[in-house]
Amino acid sequence: MTLVEIAGAGLAELTCARLLADRGHRVRLPPPRPSAPTVGADPRPLLLTGPTLELVGSLWGGGLIEDGWPITHRHARWGAGPSPAPFPQPGRVMDGVLLAARMRERLGAGDRSQEPPEWTVTATSGEQPVHERPVHEQPVHEQTGRRRLLAGIAPLRRRRDQDTARLDCTALGWLHLTPLGRGDCLVQAMVPGPAQAPAELLAGLLAESAFDALLRRPPRTAVALAAAPRVHLAPAVPPTLGSGGLLVVGAGALRYDPLSGTGTAQALRTAILAAAVIDAAATGRPATALCAHYTDRLRAAFREHLHTCLRLYTTAFGTGPWQDEIDATRAALRTGRQPLRALD
Ligand SMILES: Cc1cc2nc3c(=O)[nH]c(=O)nc-3n(C[C@H](O)[C@H](O)[C@H](O)COP(=O)(O)OP(=O)(O)OC[C@H]3O[C@@H](n4cnc5c(N)ncnc54)[C@H](O)[C@@H]3O)c2cc1C
């Protein structure tokens, strides 16, 4: 049995822990966080739909997300086209912090030994934010573009809008509205490049969009989060004599543009793959080849995602402010690191 250190309590790390424990490996876990929402806690609302819900259910069983806010429909207008009718798309809106706390509770105490682990699984990439990074330090990710996601919470005008997730576009970027229940919604807007004064920028975009009519007012505060796709350059390091192996999972390994709406599913897939690497290494398969395979799979998924981004962003924002992001995506597909070998 392999001893694995799980270095954090994110969705991908905990899912990897669960899979490893199920296969009989020893997992050392961070201490649990309370699953009851605490006053002042910073919620991370996630909209989970079809395949993501199925994946969470198949990996963890029931009881984790059923009390999330239910969404029944989706309404999506992409680019400058006309507004199509909403269509049925069931989903749940779940606080990612609460979900992770519930997963952690299910894992119990874990291994309590002081032995050095054979592997460490982490969702933290170890990269410093650009403004804190010493000039000589190389980035650990390949990143495509500089886009930012603005996010804030606002009250809906009508209760009947609480069951539909919406996507709309302005000339500067796309916007997403996720109902949260109790009359509130999360509004997000993707803009190309850095964003000063996020609340003002978000309010301006909302005023230009179809969401303006749905909200009682724009969010009072907003954050601007780095949201350009990126992939870790060395997400898997095999164990060597005297030091354990390392696997980076989740968004630390592979970050999708939130437009995909599949970030959580993707994070869980990295966890499945990382658990398979550790499990296969325990049966004697060479860890170096397994780590190369892990890296390749991530790069292949990243390139496929970039192709999707290129297709969507050129359709909706072919000229103007998005040109630099589109050019960066084309350049990454032309010159970025390719998977090293054929994937199975
Ligand atoms: C703004 C935004 C919106 C998104 N919306 C969606 C969505 O609607 N649907 C979807 O499927 N995906 C969405 N994603 C993607 C999704 O959040 C991530 O891909 C997925 O949750 C990553 O899981 P993870 O295990 O890598 O990270 P996380 O679960 O975020 O964990 C990463 C690390 O952060 C730590 N951590 C987590 N929460 C806290 C906290 N509160 N305090 C301190 N440390 C913490 C964990 O311990 C862990 O080590 C969104 C991403 C962003 C940035």
Contacts of 79 (CB under 8 A, 6+ apart): 169, 315, 316, 317
User: 330 and 234: one domain?
Assistant: yes
The sign of the dihedral angle between the CA atoms of 309, 315, 320, 321 is: negative
Calpha distance 101→42 (Å, rounded): 13
User: 267 and 133: one domain?
Assistant: yes
Testing ligand 1's pocket by substitution, the residue of 264, 270, 298, 302 carrying the most ligand atoms inside 8 A of its CB is 264
Query: What is the tens place of the pLDDT at every residue in 282-322?
Result: 999 999 999 999 999 999 999 999 999 999 999 999 878 99
pLDDT of amino acid 125: 75
- Let me know if 88 is exposed, middle or buried by CB neighbors in 10 A (0-12, 13-18, 19+): exposed
Q: Rounded to two decimals, what is the model's pTM?
A: 0.93
Query: What is the tens place of the pLDDT at every residue in 247-283?
Result: 999 999 999 999 999 999 999 999 999 999 999 999 9
Query: What is the tens place of the pLDDT at every residue in 30-89?
Result: 988 765 555 445 678 999 999 999 999 999 999 999 999 999 999 999 998 888 999 999
Q: Residue 277 falls within a domain, yes or no?
A: yes
Among protein residues, the one with the nearest Cα to ligand 1's atom 45 is 10
Calpha distance 187→182 (Å, rounded): 15
Query: What is the tens place of the pLDDT at every residue in 131-165?
Result: 666 666 778 999 999 999 999 999 999 999 999 99
How far does the centroid of ligand 1 lie from the alpha carbon of residue 178, in Å? 16
pLDDT of amino acid 39: 44
User: 283 and 139: one domain?
Assistant: yes
Calpha distance 280→264 (Å, rounded): 24
User: 185 and 245: one domain?
Assistant: no
Name the E strands within 159-248: 164-169, 174-181, 184-191, 223-226, 230-232, 236-237, 245-248
pLDDT of amino acid 40: 45
pLDDT of amino acid 344: 34
Atom of ligand 1 nearest to the CA of 178: 8
Query: What is the tens place of the pLDDT at every residue in 181-238?
Result: 999 999 999 999 888 999 999 999 999 999 999 999 999 999 999 999 999 999 999 9
In the listed set 182, 199, 226, which residue is the last one of a domain according to the structure?
Answer: 226
DSSP letter assigned to residue 50: H
Q: Domain span at residue 275?
A: 3-29+107-145+228-335
Q: Is 209 left (phi over 0), alpha (psi -120 to 50) or beta?
A: beta
Testing ligand 1's pocket by substitution, the residue of 46, 48, 49 carrying the most ligand atoms inside 8 A of its CB is 46
Calpha distance 338→173 (Å, rounded): 29
How far does the centroid of ligand 1 lie from the alpha carbon of residue 291, in Å? 24
309-316 CB contacts, 8 Å cutoff, 24+ apart: 309/144, 309/229, 309/257, 309/259, 312/78, 312/259, 315/78, 315/79, 316/78, 316/79, 316/80, 316/169, 316/174
pLDDT of amino acid 291: 98
User: 194 and 128: one domain?
Assistant: no
Name all residues whose Cβ lies below 6 A of ligand 1: 8-13, 42, 46-48, 52, 96-97, 100, 123-124, 149, 151, 225, 250-252, 258, 261-264, 267
Q: Residue 262 falls within a domain, yes or no?
A: yes
pLDDT of amino acid 294: 98
Q: Residue 71 falls within a domain, yes or no?
A: no
pLDDT of amino acid 133: 63
How far does the centroid of ligand 1 lie from the alpha carbon of residue 84, in Å? 31
Contacts of 63 (CB under 8 A, 6+ apart): 102
Which pair of tokens denotes residue 71?
Answer: 């969404």
How far does the centroid of ligand 1 lie from the alpha carbon of residue 10, in Å? 7
Q: How far is CA 3 from the centre of its chain?
A: 27
Calpha distance 116→7 (Å, rounded): 13
More confident residue, 122 or 43: 122
User: 190 and 269: one domain?
Assistant: no
How far does the centroid of ligand 1 lie from the alpha carbon of residue 11, in Å? 7
User: 295 and 242: one domain?
Assistant: yes
pLDDT of amino acid 338: 65
pLDDT of amino acid 132: 65
User: 321 and 264: one domain?
Assistant: yes
Work out how many domains the chain is built from and give that number.
Answer: 2
